[in-house]
Amino acid sequence: MKNLIKLYSLIFASLLIVSCGDEDLEPTLAQDKDLASGIQSADDLYSVLNSAYNRMTSSSYYMRDFIVMGEVRTDNMYSNVNSGRFVSSDMNHNPDGYGPWGTIYGVIAITNIVANVDASSLEGNPARINHIIGQAHALRALCHFDLLRNYGQHFIDGQGGLGSLGVPYVKTYKDPANLQPSRDTVASNVGDIMADFQGGIALMDDSFNTTTSYMTKAGAYALMARAALYFGAADSSFYATAGSAAKWVIDNSSAVPVSAAAFKASYYTDHASNSLFELEANGTDNPGINGLAYIYRGTSYGDVRILTGTGTNPDLYDILDATDVRGTVNGMIGTQQNYPTIIGKFPTTNGSDNVTVIRVEEMHLIYAEALLRAGNASGALTYLNNVPALRNAPTYTTATLDNILLERRKEFYGEGLRFYDLARTGQDMPLIDSVKQLNDDLTGTPPAFGSYRYAYPISKSERNANPNIQQNAGY
């Protein structure tokens, strides 16, 4: 018990002395003690890793902002600015910065403590210790991937593709020689992200996991598939990697797509049968009104609502068939506070729902896309239709990229994937309603693909704290 008290006090001291905006890329200890000296066993290591998961449940990361960022900039949703939140539906971002940069690097700092521990010095089952270290590598990969796809310059005109500015890939907890890291290239980020996923998978042993609230081998494969699909825009060889990883999950994980009858209930159920990785909330530890439910339909917040319009580009109501359980027939979308609203996803307004980061239905659609890009249209059609067949929705007669993207939009609306699908496939932001969607914009149209507004600016506080951080183009 004394060792655990020592460990916790060291961790809490370390988390207080940070500055990168609010959090540094490399926190330093307030005491002249090595934090690693407090980690003496597998249980200690597990406790440290838990603090990384806890940071991921911040409202500025997966419990709200990060998911909303993937929707409010698109043709799915917009901000009515009811409480002054998410005002940049038009992607006209404040150049002083916005987004979860500091929060994500705070998670990375903790994963680096675990990833760099001397495993041979710890008490406990070596396989369990390796499993914990493997989780840290996979989480570190996910965090850097999340940073790259929001701040990287790879889709911005004139910035150089794979050779453009990515984000600092931080691999150490306390390195005096690298307390103010510069931005790595996108190509370097991609290599490091994939290496961390692969290294984490090699270390993990799922016999030590009892819940999808922790990273599993299947969860790491699934997230690697998501990342590789995104990277395919820059290097088409990654599509095969995405397909292989997705197929591994389909064949080897215990997760299965939910039926039409169980679809709505799956959002009310923690650890549903289709979940591959989720983050915990409960009745006493949750984001409350700062969670997803309250921003989607809360009475005093409720800023983020379904975007509807009468133009040529379809909105969510237009694409969902009358019998589709993802639409009005199942009460998944409807009207609240006089706004078109997502009702069935993230249903509990006190924020006590677990947030599923990735689920197995995505693997079927990733594998379909990988097969299509490899020239196997018939195989792609089979996996594409696996999803609508379970939603009481019309199936497709042909597999095309447009059909796969359409099905992804139907299945994952409100879950934060839409912006990245549009960006990775080189699409201009579709216009649905020039008033709602462009509430702060005088141009009358959303930005075209290649606009600097496809990436967030890096905050002034971060650039002041680290003069080696170069601002993104256009800001």
Q: Whole-angstrom distance between the N-terminal and C-terminal Cα of the chain?
A: 51
The predicted pLDDT at position 174 comes to 73
Least confident of 79-93, 371-385, 437-451: 437-451
What is residue 275's three-state secondary structure? strand
Q: Which residues of 122-157 are buried (b: 16+ CB within 10 A; e: fewer)?
A: bebeeebbbbbbbbbbbbbbbbbbbbbbbbbbbbbe
Taking each helix axis from N to C end, the angle separating 126-151 and 101-115, rounded to the nearest 10 degrees, works out to 160
pLDDT for 2 equals 36
pLDDT band at 311 (very low <50, low <70, confident <90, very high): confident
- Judge whether residue 103 has pLDDT over 90: yes
Confidence of residue 341 (pLDDT cuts 50, 70, 90): very high
User: Where do the domains of the chain lie, and which CATH numbers do they carry?
Assistant: 2-61+74-283+352-465 (1.25.40.390)
Q: For residue 468, what are its two tokens?
A: 């080696």
Confidence of residue 197 (pLDDT cuts 50, 70, 90): very high
Residue 18 pLDDT grade (very low, low, confident, very high; cuts 50, 70, 90): very low
Q: For residue 310, is pLDDT > 90?
A: no
pLDDT band for 38, please (50, 70, 90 cuts).
Answer: confident
Residues with Cβ within 8 Å of residue 37, at least 6 apart in sequence: none
pLDDT at 1: 38
Asked if the model's pLDDT at residue 175 lies above 80, the reply is no
The pTM of this model reads: 0.93
- In DSSP terms, 306 is beta-bridged to 77
pLDDT per position as a tens digit, 442-474: 788 899 999 999 999 999 999 999 999 999 999
For residue 7, is pLDDT > 60? no
Is 80 exceeded by the pLDDT of residue 35?
Answer: no
Q: Which of 300-314, 417-431, 439-453 has the highest mean predicted lDDT (pLDDT)? A: 417-431
* Distance separating alpha carbons of residues 204 and 21, to the nearest angstrom: 34
pLDDT higher than 60, residue 15: no
**Mean model confidence pLDDT for the chain:** 91
Query: What phi and psi values does residue 280 have, to the nearest 5 degrees?
Result: -80, 140
List beta partners, residue 165: 185
Q: What is the pLDDT of residue 22?
A: 35
CA 399 to chain centre: 26
CA–CA dist 65, 378 (Å, integer):
38
Residue-wise over 227-258: b if at least 16 C-beta within 10 A, else e?
Answer: bbbbbbbbeeebbebbbebbbbbbeebebebb
